[in-house]
Amino acid sequence: MASVQDISVSAVINLISALVFLLAFAIARLQPINDRVYFPKWYLKGIRASPRSSGSFVNKFVNLDLRTYIRFLNWMPAALKMPEQELIGHAGLDSAVYIRIYLLGLKIFVPITLLSFAVLVPVNWTSGETLDHIEDLTFSNIDKLSISNIPSGSKRFWAHVVMAYVYTFWTLYILYKEYKKISTMRLDFLASEKRRPDQFTVLVRNVPPDPDESVSKHVEHFFRVNHSDHYLTQQVVYNANKLAKLVEKKKSNHNWLTYYQTKYERDPEKKQKIKTGFWGLCGKSVDAIDYYTTEIEKLTKEEAEEREKVKSEPNAIVSAAFVSFNSRWGAAVCAQTQQSRNSTIWLTEWAPEPRDVYWDNLSIPYIQLSVRRLLMTVALFFLTFFFMIPIGFVQAFASIDGIRKVLPFLKPLIDMDFVKSFVQGFLPGIVLKIFLILLPMILMIMSKIEGFTSLSSLDRRSAAKYHLFVIVNVFFGSIITGAAFEQLDRFLHQSPTEIPKTIGVTLPMKATFFITFIMVDGWAGIAAEILRLVPLIMFHIKNTFLVKTEHDREEAMDPGSLNFSVSEPRLQLYFLLGLVYAVVTPILLPFIIIFFAFSYMVFRHQIINVYDQKYESGASFWPDVNRRILIGLVISHLLLIGLLSTKDASQSTPLLIVLTVLTIWFHKFCKGRFESVFVKFPLQDAVVKDTVERTTEPNFNLKEYLQDAYLHPVLKGVDFEVLKELDDEEKNSLVATKRTSRRSSKTVSNGTSEDQKTVSEIQLVF
Amino acid sequence: MASVQDISVSAVINLISALVFLLAFAIARLQPINDRVYFPKWYLKGIRASPRSSGSFVNKFVNLDLRTYIRFLNWMPAALKMPEQELIGHAGLDSAVYIRIYLLGLKIFVPITLLSFAVLVPVNWTSGETLDHIEDLTFSNIDKLSISNIPSGSKRFWAHVVMAYVYTFWTLYILYKEYKKISTMRLDFLASEKRRPDQFTVLVRNVPPDPDESVSKHVEHFFRVNHSDHYLTQQVVYNANKLAKLVEKKKSNHNWLTYYQTKYERDPEKKQKIKTGFWGLCGKSVDAIDYYTTEIEKLTKEEAEEREKVKSEPNAIVSAAFVSFNSRWGAAVCAQTQQSRNSTIWLTEWAPEPRDVYWDNLSIPYIQLSVRRLLMTVALFFLTFFFMIPIGFVQAFASIDGIRKVLPFLKPLIDMDFVKSFVQGFLPGIVLKIFLILLPMILMIMSKIEGFTSLSSLDRRSAAKYHLFVIVNVFFGSIITGAAFEQLDRFLHQSPTEIPKTIGVTLPMKATFFITFIMVDGWAGIAAEILRLVPLIMFHIKNTFLVKTEHDREEAMDPGSLNFSVSEPRLQLYFLLGLVYAVVTPILLPFIIIFFAFSYMVFRHQIINVYDQKYESGASFWPDVNRRILIGLVISHLLLIGLLSTKDASQSTPLLIVLTVLTIWFHKFCKGRFESVFVKFPLQDAVVKDTVERTTEPNFNLKEYLQDAYLHPVLKGVDFEVLKELDDEEKNSLVATKRTSRRSSKTVSNGTSEDQKTVSEIQLVF
């Protein structure tokens, strides 16, 4: 076990690496050439014009104003300055609430840390009988501060039990307050929103086939009858997946064409050749520019045909529709009620906002959906517990002997000492790392197979899967050695009371490991996040080869977005560690507090200046966040029970079980109290908004407003050709800036929905 | 282990006792004096007049027509004759669906039994190597037919695994078909129903207090705003619990008065004296008739005061209301949507029908409800697993030594040999029996504390609790010896894979025990049910002492009702036994089939002729029935896994786990597919009914119709005094018969709602 010195050294190393990242960021962000990497949000909002459009040539690329370098940390106060209300308006409620999770971490753990250091650390420290007499200099001082220092059967364990109570009640209190706050924020956000199509619209799935009517007519008749006073209009869903793929392919070809054209312009002597075969590796060699020009022409024709086909053929209409009502009340009623006596058809739910719709999944029949969920649940189980088996195979294959056998021609190469040691030392680790990088994508694909209909729900489901994986493989996997399936096997053959003991007893020993983990993954990882190394490099590559117009440059920006499905489960690990170690090894807590504080600052900066969210779900992920923290709390109780019963203090078990029961009850209570706010739309609020709107704009033509809101993006009027022509006209940056500012004024006047349109236009193209 | 001979003897004994019950029933039911005990349903319907009103004096009491005795079993075909549609009209959907559970048992188990005897019995029988060579004549032949006869590691176990698959798929198929059928029956029942107040009404709970308005005004304003086009009227709920108690008390005193008056009339010489103290045991002696007359006068005054108080004081109005709408559509919408942004106030649910309302629980605040549920869950856990501890205390106290210590004056009595052996032999068993008789009442009280608002939901919740108790203490308790809390302790210290093994291995040995159990509890118990011994005796006691008018006689009838909360969980035990033993010891199956067939006949007879349901919930218990059978199926899989892994056939485990996963998935599928039919009211059906009604009765005054539908029964116009006076006029039976027939014609013309009123009038009085 590491001593305090070891930890300090590790802390210093990680602090330095974090500082290096921060310095690099501080310098990089001041260079005008990187401006679009570090402030894309403002460009998208149309508020910031390129600093490169003015000043000398050098100034366009490098910042020579030395005074700005002195205050290299001044992004921190700047990030904290924007008030929350403005932040919600600027970045959306999702982002604003997301960073509140870090704040929540601080609210929970700062008082807990203070209490722990005031009570538990002295209790542990002064109980030095067990460890003092060992007189071993290498003995860890951290252990003297932890529960390990207390002899078995000591009365001092009561302090820990009492503290477990205090911490639990504090956590529940803060969680309750936060849940209440967030649900109010959500309702206020929904209430203050401008008119949006999704407020009036319901997504209807599993429209039953009718031999006499088209889907469109059938939907209209059904809702005209059953919601006679409220039905307004409907929009059937076209199966435009093939068309979307064609558009995608054309766009990619267009990028290559631009690339080769740029290359040609720079060096007109050299002919640009490519091979037409697999991945450009084989096949006959042709002229690149000609090839892509003809390809694009071909695709344009195909696309036009497909577009015609989608719009005319009845088979292209899937059994789903977006039905709009003449009031929010009508939509809220339809979304919350059952329409048909067969509860697998005419399924209604509140429509996601147009850019949040995941179009591919709208037409899955109920029974198929049910089977898909079953299969994915089984797959998730195997993925979580048995993922090491295929990885093991690949690792065996990626060993020296494996390579020698399968690829004998590489033999002379791998017999070199350097290559050999590389293969032996790094390859297995790299295989695992590649899997872990791919994991979120695999989980997202699994969620897509499960058939969710909005991007936000896909993100939430993936996060749930990832959370399971993190708990099983990172948390328990680090505490108990051996692969997950070996643990599973062991647990199946152990009694339920034995399991918490096995884990609880190793808990204090792993504290230093987790402290190091927090510093590496938490501190340095977050510092790397702010530097945005990958988008930085990608931007400059694109900027060099693809960007011809200001519009292209805008597309090359890649502001990225908060990746909820990955970052939230990871951050839950810190809650879990904090809750588990609060009683066991309080020295771990300050590290977690630093993580939360630092992350809060970094992400606040990022959502203000960088990220551009793909959708706005109104913080509908909060019930998940709340539940997962409670799961952490329950795990902490169970492990404490196990730990204490190995320490001859099992009389505390009933007391701690009471805490567990209370926590589970609290979860149910919160679910009943708040969750419906995140799922349903209360009629009272709907009526208020309807009334206000009817009074202020009595003559608004809602039907026209909703007409095309839920058309598949590739079918919308604005398409690639049109945009391209526009851009050709605006080739010089002066015009482009004008255009940006024009756009900006439009944004201000037309509000959110216009903004959205701009964003989806951009998405459509890139 | 018992041999086939033992089982046969037991079967004969039980068959004879069942036959004795049936014979007693056949004779008793033919006596005119018992007519009201065995055919009360027809009296309540007003269709049957008393056979005692005509004929000679003797014929009024004893049936002397010998020909009727010959066909003593002719009630059986008569019970089966009524077609299901007529049965629903006659006894309600609840009863008709309830007896379908027995039919479901037959549908599942008859094919399973045939298959088992065709496949598994030969497979077990011919594998006689292990047991044949013992050549012990006392050896059980039943074991030769069971899975015990197959040696460890035999390939023959594949037959059992395949059969487990076949049985599971068959059960799921039948369950799916039945669920579908019942949900259609429910929807048709609801659609075909006459106009009923609950179709237009929503129960609103947790109305928030308003400083400026009364509850009544507040409710009206809220719904006028938020359901402006659909709101019709509302009925606040009065806290009339104290009034109801007064009415109850007065009724009881009135009964005693009648009793003493009757006694006085028969023997005017003897003065009727009673003591006024505790339970009539002590206190000063007074004239009984005078005493009760003054008591009733006092109570009448108190009642009038209380009635005035309830109607005038604002505090007597609780924070709940029944809100009615002008269409079924409006009510369905309001019941299914969230009204306020705070999801703990303005809670709406579909109102139970007026006689189904449990008035005491309408005004419990959300947080208190949540705490009550928590406490009752904990209490149920302790009741299920630790009920033997207090019973043990009482049993110890009820021993010879205990009595000697506490009640020393009884010493000479209990030292008598006869008394001693009785106390030692029977008292502990009686204590346990008393507890088991009280158990359903305890569970019902727990459900009431949990705060459910309708009698039907109280019944369903009590049934859920009882089901848990039966599984843990009857099923597992019989298989493993030792009290439940000892089992619990053992299981906590055993691995999850060990538990099914422990239970599975004792499974075949317990087959004979369960066969005897089925015969005693199932066969003889059901035969006793049809005899109705307790109501028979009670009726004759009341008839002798209390009945003065034909109306009194009607009240003395006590038709009883299907006690869903007790009988359904008990009957689930037979499903569980059948599913578990289908693969293990198929010889048990015929006994279960006889149970289901016999019960089906008996209960069909009872619901046609006897039972009078207190409410009609439209078979809303079916999701519970379906779920519990699936729980039985999962238990059967787990135990089979355990059994096979002790027989060196653990390679079958993954195959059987697939079955378990499939069963759980099937449960989820059914829940999604059908459950909403039992909870929500589809808008499509609501619109159809609304439209039909609006066309046929355009001028119906709905508001007037609904005005008093949801008034607390004690506050309704019709009350005790009025009824009594009416009855005094109708003292001779001829008039009474007329009255009954008048009522009957009213019933036919006005349909269900009128019927209901009649029933609630009767309930009100008794």
List beta partners, residue A307: none
Q: Would the CB atoms of B495 and A497 count as touching at under 8 Å? A: no
CA B122 to chain A, closest CA, distance in angstroms equals 35
Inter-chain residue contact B495 with A493, CB threshold 8 Å: yes
CA angle B282, B283, B287 (to 5 degrees): 105
Cβ contact, residue pair B674, A187, below 8 Å: no
For A182-219, b/e burial (b = at least 16 CB within 10 A) is bbebbbebbeebebbbbbbbbbbbbbeeeeeeebeebb
CB contacts under 8 A, A 351-370 vs B, are 366-367, 370
Q: What is the mean pLDDT of chain A?
A: 79
Candidates B183, B338, B493; nearest CB to A336 = B338
Closest C-alpha to A634, from A608, A660, A670? A660
| A537-564 pLDDT tens trace | 877 777 777 776 666 677 777 777 888 8
Banded model confidence at residue B735, pLDDT cuts 50, 70, 90: very low
Nearest Cα of chain B lies from the Cα of A188 at a distance, in angstroms, of 10
The one-character DSSP state at A286 is E
Per residue in A123-182, pLDDT (tens digit) is 888 876 554 444 444 445 667 778 877 888 888 888 899 999 999 999 999 999 999 999
Whether B654 and chain A come into contact, CB under 8 Å, resolves to no
Write the ipTM. Answer: 0.80
Confidence of residue B139 (pLDDT cuts 50, 70, 90): very low
Is some CB atom of chain A closer than 8 A to the CB atom of B692? no
Q: Do B337 and A333 touch (CB under 8 A)?
A: yes
Answer yes or no: is pLDDT of A97 > 60: yes
Using DSSP's 3-state secondary structure scheme, residue B350 falls into strand
Compute CA distances B90 → A247, A356, B292, B610, B749, whole Å. 66, 54, 41, 11, 15
Nearest of A753, A683, A623, A666 to residue A101 by alpha carbon: A623
B349 phi/psi in degrees, rounded to 5: -150, 155
CA B178 to CA B190: how far, in whole Å? 18
Supply B162's token pair: 């395949």
A665 touches chain B (CB under 8 A): yes
Q: Do A665 and B492 touch (CB under 8 A)?
A: no
User: Does pLDDT of B111 surpass 90?
Assistant: yes
List all residues 6 or more positions away from A722 whose beta carbon is below 8 Å from its beta carbon. Answer: none
Instruction: Give tens-digit pLDDT for B378-431.
Output: 999 999 888 877 777 777 766 677 777 777 777 777 777 777 777 776 777 777
Is B338 an interface residue toward A (CB < 8 Å)?
Answer: yes
Q: Are A498 and B497 inside 8 Å of each other by CB?
A: no
A194 touches chain B (CB under 8 A): no
Sign of the dihedral through C-alpha A123, A128, A131, A136: positive
Are A336 and B339 in contact (CB < 8 Å)? no
Half-sphere exposure of B702 (CA within 13 A, CB side): 22
Partner-chain contact A338 B339, CB within 8 Å: no
* B493: closest CA of chain A, how far (Å): 5
Q: Test A341 with B370 for CB contact under 8 angstroms.
A: no
Contact criterion met (CB < 8 Å) for B682 and A340: yes
Which positions 495-524 of B are in contact with A (Cβ < 8 Å)?
495-498
Q: Does B672 contact A at CB distance below 8 Å?
A: yes
Check CB contact under 8 Å for A495 and B493.
yes
Q: Which of residues 520-559 of A touch B (CB under 8 A)?
A: none
CB neighbourhood size of B54 (10 A): 10
Compute how many other C-beta atoms are within 10 angstroms of the C-beta atom of residue A308.
10
3 state SS of A275: strand
Q: Is B562 helix (H, G, I), strand (E, B) or coil?
A: coil
- Confidence band for A50, pLDDT divided at 50, 70 and 90: low
Cβ-based contacts of A370 with chain B (< 8 Å): 665, 668-669, 672
Q: Which of A668, A675, A683 sits opposite B337 (nearest CB)?
A: A683
* Among B82-86, B321-325, B632-636, the least confident range: B82-86
In this predicted structure, what is the pLDDT of residue B279? 62
Written in H, E and C, the secondary structure of A715-764 is HCCCCHHHHHHHHHHCCCHHHHHHHHHHHHHHHHHHCHHHHHHHHHHHHH
Select from A339, A493, A683 the Cβ nearest to the Cβ of B226. Answer: A683
Residues of chain B with Cβ-Cβ distance to A337 below 8 Å are 332-333, 336-337, 680, 683
Closest approach of A223 to chain B, Cα-based (Å): 9
Q: How many CB pairs under 8 A join A and B?
A: 126
pLDDT tens digits, B221-250 = 899 888 888 888 888 888 877 788 888 888
Query: Distance between CA atoms of A108 and A113, rounded to whole angstroms?
Result: 9
CA distance B173 to chain A (A): 15
Average pLDDT in the A331-349 region? Answer: 87
DSSP-assigned states of every residue in A657-687:
HHHHHHHHHHHHHHIIIIIHHHH---HHHHH
In chain B, the N- to C-terminal Cα span, in Å, equals 52
Residue A424 has pLDDT above 80, yes or no: no
**What mean pLDDT is predicted for residues A509-522?**
83
In this predicted structure, which of A160-164, B547-551, B560-564, B734-738 has the lowest mean pLDDT? Answer: B734-738
Give me the DSSP letters along A569-635.
Answer: HHHHHHHHHHHHHHHH-GGGHHHHHHHHHHHHHHHHHHHHHT---S----STTHHHHHHHHHHHHHH
- Tell me which residue in B333, B492, B661 faces A378 most closely, judged by beta carbons: B661
Q: How far apart are CA B138 and CA B122, in angstroms?
A: 22
Query: What average pLDDT score do residues A207-229 get?
Result: 86
In chain A, what residues touch B667 (CB-CB under 8 Å)? none
Touching check for B657 and chain A: CB below 8 Å? Answer: no
**Sorting pLDDT into bands at 50, 70 and 90, what band is B72?**
low
- Check CB contact of A340 with chain B, cutoff 8 Å: yes
Token representation of residue B477:
């308790």
User: How far from A185 is each of A88, A107, A323, A678, CA to CA, in Å?
Assistant: 10, 18, 28, 11
> What contacts B649, CB < 8 A, 6 or more positions away?
B152, B153, B154, B157
Kindly determine whether residue A344 and residue B673, on different chains, have CB atoms separated by under 8 Å.
yes
Whether the CB of B737 is below 8 Å from some CB of chain A: the reply is no
* Helices A455-469 and A564-584, axial angle in degrees (round to 10): 40
- Report chain B residues whose CB lies below 8 A from the CB of A641: none
Q: pLDDT > 90: what percent of chain A?
A: 19
Mutation pick from A341, A670, A678, A690 vs chain B, by most beta carbons of B within 10 Å, is A341
Model confidence over A570-622: pLDDT tens digits? Answer: 999 999 999 999 998 898 999 999 999 989 988 888 888 888 888 888 888 99
- Higher model confidence: residue A659 or residue B736? A659
How far apart, in whole angstroms, are the C-alpha atoms of residue B645 and residue B655?
A: 12
**Using CB atoms and an 8 Å cut-off, which of residues 435-494 of chain B contact chain A?**
491-494
What does R_g of chain B's alpha carbons equal in angstroms?
Answer: 29
Query: B668 falls in which pLDDT band (50, 70, 90)?
Result: very high
Quick: pLDDT tens for A52-74: 555 556 666 666 666 666 666 67
